[in-house]
Structure 1
Amino acid sequence: MPSDNQSTFVSSRRATLRQVAQEARASKTSVSRYFGGAREQLSPDLQKRIAQAAAQLNYRPNLIARSLKGGRTGLIGMLVADIRNPFSVAAMHGVEQAAREQGFSLMVCNTNNDPLLEQVHLTQLTSYGIEGLVVNASGQASQELIDLATNGFPIVLLDRQLPGIEADMVGLDNDAAIDIAIAHLREAGYRDVLYLSEPINHTSSRQERLSRLTYQLAAHEGTLNGHTFMLSLSHDLASLSPVIEQFMSTANRPAILCGNGNMTLMAARCLKQLKLDLGSIGLLGIDELEWCSLLTPGITTLAQPTEEIGRRAFACLLERNREAYVGQSRHIRYHPTLIKRGSTSCPDFHAT
């Protein structure tokens, strides 16, 4: 009989692909396809049997061996400009879910809007042999990223376009978002709008929203007045309070439109600090956050289909990875959904 030490050694050995195939009553080729990013070639029943067998045997594919043998790692990289941004978190979840369903694993790096850190992370990701890259970058592409795109490496841009990068881009229809927001505020009876945004810098989504806002204000000149204020997240509420107080002192039926979830949170905190009631001053934010429905009387938002955006980004990446699509770059934009709440119920206005 084997000793206790021998027994422990045997039970701790890695399960093999052959053992998984035997347990699942499948071929080694099928198991290899399952863990190699080609699950769609297998029937749902076969996928289920392989998954159950792998879980029962505690099988872990050897990514290093796989990459040496066939150049495949099953790894997808993702560069995120600011992992604190609610949009980034939700979209990242969509990318990860879609990747996992296809047998890929996601490696995420937060650049913190730092171009130098972005270069470091990009070098690390490529050293691991990633098979594609989803990029939510800080605004300007590094030379390393441009070189990757130029050489045909599969890249998909998330939410933001980058000069010098010819790649698919998936994100929000920013023109539609501003159009819907302005139309709702006008219909609700607001006449002066303060637009809050993080600094524009080179971020295309912020540029597009501000440009469309300028267009809408010009189109409704005489019935709608607009003001803008750029606020970095590194500043505290003391920077925003005097801006809102000044706005309130001269505004007629005032409302605040926030360019993203971070700004909505900053504005809500500031209004509470100033003891200003939502509704008497309107508040509308781009991006739906869980707490928006909890804060009395509720904050009106434009909800992005963030998980679907993330899933579509991975789908585009997979098509490029497998050369299932080799055409020109695509810009895929989603419309937001207006969720009306009490923060845009102008108390002094009654529609006729």
Structure 2
Amino acid sequence: MSQKQQDNKKQITINDVAKEAGVSKTTVSRYLGKQYDSLAEDTRKKIEEAIKILDYKPNRMASGLKGGRSYLIGMVVADITNPFTVSILHAAEILCRSKGYSLMVCNTNNDPKVEREYIFMLQSHRIDGLIINTTGKNNQFLLDMAKQRTSVVLVDRKIPELGFDTIGIDNMTPTMEAVQFLLKQDYERIAFFSEPVDGISTRHERLTAFQSVLKAHDHPSQNDIYEVSLNKADDLKKQLECFLNDTRNAKRAIFSANGVVSLNLIKESKARGLKIPEDLSIIGFDDLDWSEIITPPLTTIAQPTEDIGRTAIERVFERIEGDTSPPKEILLSARLKLRGSTH
């Protein structure tokens, strides 16, 4: 009768495998560590058979800690309710799982204090890598984490002075293309609507591209900039009203810096009885699931969100496996999709 049959209620350990195979615990450890070259073929077969008989499941966490790994990757996101974030997270989790790692996800709601607390918590779990969509307010804590040999990769938002790998998109090119398209359609006033720009590299890059095209054409909309706080009741409503009052009888459009702002603009415009694009055209950033099915469909810039998630995880694993090359900034391409929300 096998060890498993004698005591199937007891958790099977490496000692049980060694006894069943008639070898030492050290020999089983070598097998589990894939040090096959140091083991005779007959010994390997004995251990393999013992694991099968006992239905032994190695405790990867325990063995990982002994080898300096936890097999945990942390992912800190700014807004888990944003479909952009969900798509990145989905792709990252699938790849993580395929490599035998678990993904610990933390949502900060763009709160630096919450972000700092999560950084400390993830450190206590001895994560092997961290992917972070950072607020930009906890840079020293991220540097400290990296000094403890945690591989840190920034996603979407850039902070060059930290010297971390960064995965994002080229924000400038598609934004400039979108604004140039609006100019060709002879829009007399074009507004830029965004959540607060300060400290968020992606929003700043989109604003810079927006203004650079308008300045090059000496367009009167260079200063039509509206920063909205979506967590403040009626803030977007008030700022939209301001833009509409300032542009009566003008052919007008809004460039929205992300999908959440776009959705709120569309909802508020329709609540006012405005016809899109007859009364107001809207062009957005983020090609979310609803963008193509609303009436009219939204002209927008599509980001390769799943590719961003996969690339970030791949870069973390490269660092974990010993890549010591200089930090990389990997910018993926986004593209403008023309639909019915613009003339």
Deviations 1:129-162 (A, max 9, x none): 2111111111223422121234553111001123
Q: CA deviation at 1:18?
A: 6.3
Q: Is the Cα–Cα contact under 8 Å of residues 77 and 85 in structure 2 kept in the other structure?
A: yes
Q: Secondary structure of the equivalent of 1:118?
A: helix
Separation in structure 1 between the aligned mates of residue 56 and residue 300 of structure 2, nearest angstrom: 45
Deviations 1:6-26 (A, max 9, x none): 99x83685698969xx9xxxx
1:123 to 101, 109, 120: 120
Separation in structure 2 between the aligned mates of residue 265 and residue 31 of structure 1, nearest angstrom: 52
The answer as to 2:211 corresponding to 1:191 is no
Q: CA deviation at 1:209?
A: 1.4
| Equivalent AA in structure 2 for residue 178 of structure 1 | T
Q: Is the Cα–Cα contact under 8 Å of residues 177 and 286 in structure 1 kept in the other structure?
A: no
Tell me the equivalent position of 2:203.
206
| Equivalent AA in structure 2 for residue 328 of structure 1 | P
Query: Do the aligned partners of residues 58 and 185 (structure 1) sit closer, same or farther apart at CA in structure 2, a change above 3 Å counting?
Result: farther
Q: Secondary structure of the equivalent of 1:232?
A: coil
- Is 175-184 or 143-152 further displaced after alignment? 143-152
Higher Cα Rg, which structure: 2
Q: Is the Cα–Cα contact under 8 Å of residues 149 and 166 in structure 1 kept in the other structure?
A: no
Query: Do the aligned partners of residues 152 and 10 (structure 1) sit closer, same or farther apart at CA in structure 2, a change above 3 Å counting?
Result: closer
| Equivalent AA in structure 1 for residue 109 of structure 2 | N
Tell me the equivalent position of 1:318.
317
Q: Is the Cα–Cα contact under 8 Å of residues 169 and 331 in structure 1 kept in the other structure?
A: yes
Query: Do the aligned partners of residues 291 and 60 (structure 1) sit closer, same or farther apart at CA in structure 2, a change above 3 Å counting?
Result: farther
Q: Is the Cα–Cα contact under 8 Å of residues 80 and 88 in structure 1 kept in the other structure?
A: yes
1:331 to 329, 332, 343: 329
Task: Report 1:15-30 matches (<5 A).
Answer: none
The answer as to 2:86 corresponding to 1:79 is no
Q: Secondary structure of the equivalent of 1:66?
A: helix
Structure 1 residue ranges without an equivalent (≥5):
1-5, 34-49, 347-352
Query: Do the aligned partners of residues 60 and 341 (structure 1) sit closer, same or farther apart at CA in structure 2, a change above 3 Å counting?
Result: farther
- Is 197-206 or 243-252 further displaced after alignment? 243-252
| Equivalent AA in structure 1 for residue 308 of structure 2 | I
Tell me the equivalent position of 1:39.
none
Deviations 1:192-238 (A, max 9, x none): 111110011311111111122221110121486551111112123x3
Separation in structure 2 between the aligned mates of residue 228 and residue 241 of structure 1, nearest angstrom: 15
Separation in structure 2 between the aligned mates of residue 233 and residue 60 of structure 1, nearest angstrom: 48
Q: CA RMSD in A?
A: 3.1
Query: Do the aligned partners of residues 250 and 122 (structure 1) sit closer, same or farther apart at CA in structure 2, a change above 3 Å counting?
Result: closer
Identity of aligned residues (%): 35
Q: Is the Cα–Cα contact under 8 Å of residues 261 and 288 in structure 1 kept in the other structure?
A: yes
Q: CA deviation at 1:28?
A: 8.3
2:268 to 267, 270, 283: 270
Separation in structure 1 between the aligned mates of residue 81 and residue 334 of structure 2, nearest angstrom: 21
Q: Secondary structure of the equivalent of 1:134?
A: strand
Query: Do the aligned partners of residues 336 and 316 (structure 1) sit closer, same or farther apart at CA in structure 2, a change above 3 Å counting?
Result: same
Paired residue total: 313
Tell me the equivalent position of 1:260.
258
Tell me the equivalent position of 1:246.
242
Tell me the equivalent position of 2:227.
230
Tell me the equivalent position of 2:158.
161
Deviations 1:107-134 (A, max 9, x none): 1111222222212111111211211111
Deviations 1:267-318 (A, max 9, x none): 0111111111111211111001111112111111111000001111111111
Tell me the equivalent position of 1:343.
341
Query: Do the aligned partners of residues 136 and 222 (structure 1) sit closer, same or farther apart at CA in structure 2, a change above 3 Å counting?
Result: closer
Separation in structure 2 between the aligned mates of residue 183 and residue 206 of structure 1, nearest angstrom: 18
Structure 2 residue ranges without an equivalent (≥5):
22-27, 35-47
Deviations 1:67-114 (A, max 9, x none): 342122211111112212222111111211221122211111112222
Separation in structure 1 between the aligned mates of residue 171 and residue 17 of structure 2, nearest angstrom: 51
| Equivalent AA in structure 2 for residue 282 of structure 1 | S
Deviations 1:146-195 (A, max 9, x none): 21234553111001123641111000111113112112222334231111
